[in-house]
A and B are shown apart, each in its own frame.
Chain A
């Protein structure tokens, strides 16, 4: 079976051998796992897809599964575009990914414990002390504190891509408040509604078990002396771009979704204000950043947090998920030491590849970066959401000079990586009313608890809808795909 551009829905599919195509091999042969799907899709007309696409969009919009885009003048409510063509990962490929992300997650947890306790890895010079010292996300207040169950990064979101060599590479590990898991579940629901027939031909793992596993993880790290813990999710509020996700998770776990003002601390215990009076809270899944968590300890002007929360946490009366201060380890500069970190704590070889990274704070590497900027991606070490990224081969001469100046002013702030060619995947494009190849990545979700771990069998395949664009973040106009992990 081959790519058939005579078929209207694939008429504008242009294979580009510079990139790994997830569906078609180099000689345009359809890969094994996609054969059934392509056969089924060939039964649909172009109009069918256009209609299904509109329906799916309306369903997301009506359900209020939206995020806010902050513009200069107004805030807009937008849906996260959903694509009708699922990504399929076979059993073998997935088990490699699953082992790999769990390995990273565990190594990061060891690393966090170490840098907040004995700091062996720093004393031995394996990770440079400077990286920790200069990180704004390292919290001195966390030193010596033993989080319940010994867990820091209960929830990790590791981003993977497939390079032109056909291998998976890790782009980054998000261990502050990784988001996106609600879209994984919504995408599945939407695809089931739109194209239920295709599911009968594949044995796909469910993704709806995420919430129950998250709740179990939270309960496993309950404070000492608590029998049945009261768990809550704390959100910055309805205007936060990830608010839908916060409410989804609270609802799916059957726990309260609180804001800072619903909680208070009395005698170092945390309570929420309910219609029946104060109720003690034991485990908090926090979706607010460290600095906003407790105005007595961090930013004093924060109205999102709870005064006294950190003291309650330090005294072991409440558990915070993820722990404060985890951000130090998802710093892009730490990322580059992941192979060493994995080896150091687990005595294992890394299962997933790291992208080679140049540190601009090292003079020789800085020199290389400045000389080869057009072949590199320049990233600030501490920005989330794809902001501040420059892709060398997309810059004009003036822009290159500008980037060089910015790097030279503050080399510690930047790293550079070779331009990775993200794999492409057939994606429904509204303008051409057909499927075209677009770049994709994959965010995985991994949970760590006391004596328990879980990797969601599926993930968020993010897709850059603009032709040739490599940045897949939703804030930069990306969409997403349902991601199937096959049982066999």
Chain B
């Protein structure tokens, strides 16, 4: 069963003083691959500046806007239509031999292959001094371990906005036991990587239909690479396995590789940014 999605992204930036020059890069377009098929993609702004399409450093599609006249306020609006296939992550995970699975993780070839998503970054660095009581076991499959990790974070940490920001270290998250989806995803990646399991940070949209945490903003979850299965998404914020409700935009080592918006703005004074996301789904009638 596939779903038809309509995703609306809107943002408004207001500046106290005139902006002489600015450049924004948006990483918000859903990925057009795998289980996602983009039907249409539109991006507008209130200053009618032509939108350029480009890529970020990891090859994900971006929109760029480069106003040539000065302004004090600008609105952005994007609308994406896509079809998302129904996914059953459990299908892929009928893991074969446990010993094989774990021994692969320790092979040099595997470590080289996935080096990018095995190294720790500033945002996914586990503080040495902090005890982590998550129990990792080679008695069960990697998939089971990751499900347990998902639950461990979901149970042990509470969702709370405005207590952390995009570059909060894991020390603080582990200490305060609260945060938002970025923080939980960073923690998830960090712990997975510490067990030699490649893990990447995913930025995307969550279909809010069923009252999950996501707060009508862009969402984040993790993908881990399980030998024999490939990349599987885990959403520790909601204790879910990413499936048809998770619409992926991009991935990276951590948040800093894929923030939805990057801007270089030359102005003085304060500014205010507001943005909202709306995700609507319909059963695809044709299938």
Q: Which residues of the partner chain A approach B112 to less than 8 Å between Cβ atoms? A: 119, 122-123, 129
- Chain A residues 306-335 with CB under 8 Å of chain B are 307-308, 310-311, 314-315
| B54, B57, B108, B264: most-surrounded residue (chain A CB, <10 A) | B57
- Assess whether A266 is interfacial by the CB under 8 Å rule: yes
Interface 1/0 per residue, A281-305 and B, CB below 8 Å: 0000000000000011100100000
- Complex Cα gap A134–B264 (Å): 29
Q: Please list the 9 inter-chain residue pairs (A to B) with the smallest Cβ-Cβ separation, ordered nearest first.
A: A141-B57, A297-B57, A122-B112, A311-B54, A133-B119, A123-B112, A119-B112, A140-B116, A307-B23
Taking residues whose C-beta sits less than 8 angstroms from the other chain, chain B's interface range is 20 to 34
A132 at the interface (CB under 8 A from B): yes
Q: Are B55 and A297 in contact (CB under 8 A)?
A: no
| Least distance between B105 CB and chain A CB atoms (Å) | 14
Knowing A123-B109, A129-B112, A133-B115 are in contact, say whether A308-B64 is a contact too (CB < 8 A).
Answer: yes
Expressed in whole angstroms, the minimum distance between the Cβ of B242 and any Cβ of chain A is 23
Give me the interface of B with A, judged by CB distance under 8 Å: 23, 25, 52, 54-59, 62, 64, 66, 108-109, 111-113, 115-116, 118-119, 253, 262, 264
CB within 8 Å for A314 and B264 given contacts A119-B112, A123-B109:
no
With A143-B116, A310-B57: A123-B108 Cβ-Cβ less than 8 Å? yes
Tell me, in angstroms, the Cα distance from A140 to B117 when the chains sit together.
10
Known contacts A123-B109, A296-B25, A296-B264; A268/B54 CB under 8 A: yes
Residue of A nearest to B118 (CB): A133
Q: Tell me the count of chain A residues lying within 8 A, CB to CB, of chain B.
A: 25
Question: Is the Cβ of B25 less than 8 Å from the Cβ of A140?
Answer: no
The residues in A between 130 and 186 inclusive whose CB is less than 8 angstroms from any CB of B are: 132-134, 140-141, 143
Distance in angstroms from B221 CB to nearest chain A CB is 20
Number of A-B residue pairs, CB cutoff 8 Å, is 61
Answer whether A311 and B264 are a contact pair too, CB < 8 Å, given A119-B112, A123-B109, A129-B108: no
Residues in B neighbouring A314, C-beta threshold 8 A: 55, 57, 59
Chain B residue at minimal CB-CB distance from A133 = B119
A311 in contact with B115 (CB, 8 Å): no
For A143, the closest partner residue in chain B by CB is B116
B56, B115, B116: residue with the most chain A Cβ atoms closer than 10 Å: B115
Is there contact, CB below 8 Å, between A129 and B264? no
Asked if A297 and B56 make an inter-chain contact with CB atoms under 8 angstroms apart, the answer reads yes
A308 near B116 (CB under 8 angstroms)? no
Query: CB < 8 Å: which of A119, A143, A267, A295 contacts B264?
Result: A295
Chain A residues within an 8 Å CB radius of B264: 295-296, 300, 307
Contact A125 to B108, CB < 8 A, known contacts A141-B57, A314-B57, A315-B55: yes
User: Once the chains are docked, how many angstroms separate the CA of A182 from the CA of B49?
Assistant: 44
Alpha-carbon gap, A134 to B25, bound state (A):
29
Across-interface contacts of B54 in A (CB, < 8 A): 267-268, 308, 311, 315
A252-272 to B contact mask, C-beta < 8 Å, 1/0:
000000000000101110000
User: A300 contacts B262, CB within 8 Å?
Assistant: yes
Asked whether, in the complex, the Cβ of A129 is within 8 Å of the Cβ of B111, the reply is yes
- Beyond A266-B52, A307-B264, 5 extra complex contacts between A and B, CB < 8 Å: A122-B112, A140-B57, A297-B57, A307-B25, A311-B56
Chain B residues, Cβ within 8 Å of A266 = 52, 66
Between-chain CB contacts (< 8 Å), 17 pairs: A119-B115, A122-B115, A123-B112, A129-B108, A133-B119, A134-B119, A140-B116, A141-B57, A266-B66, A267-B52, A267-B54, A268-B54, A296-B262, A296-B264, A307-B23, A307-B25, A311-B56
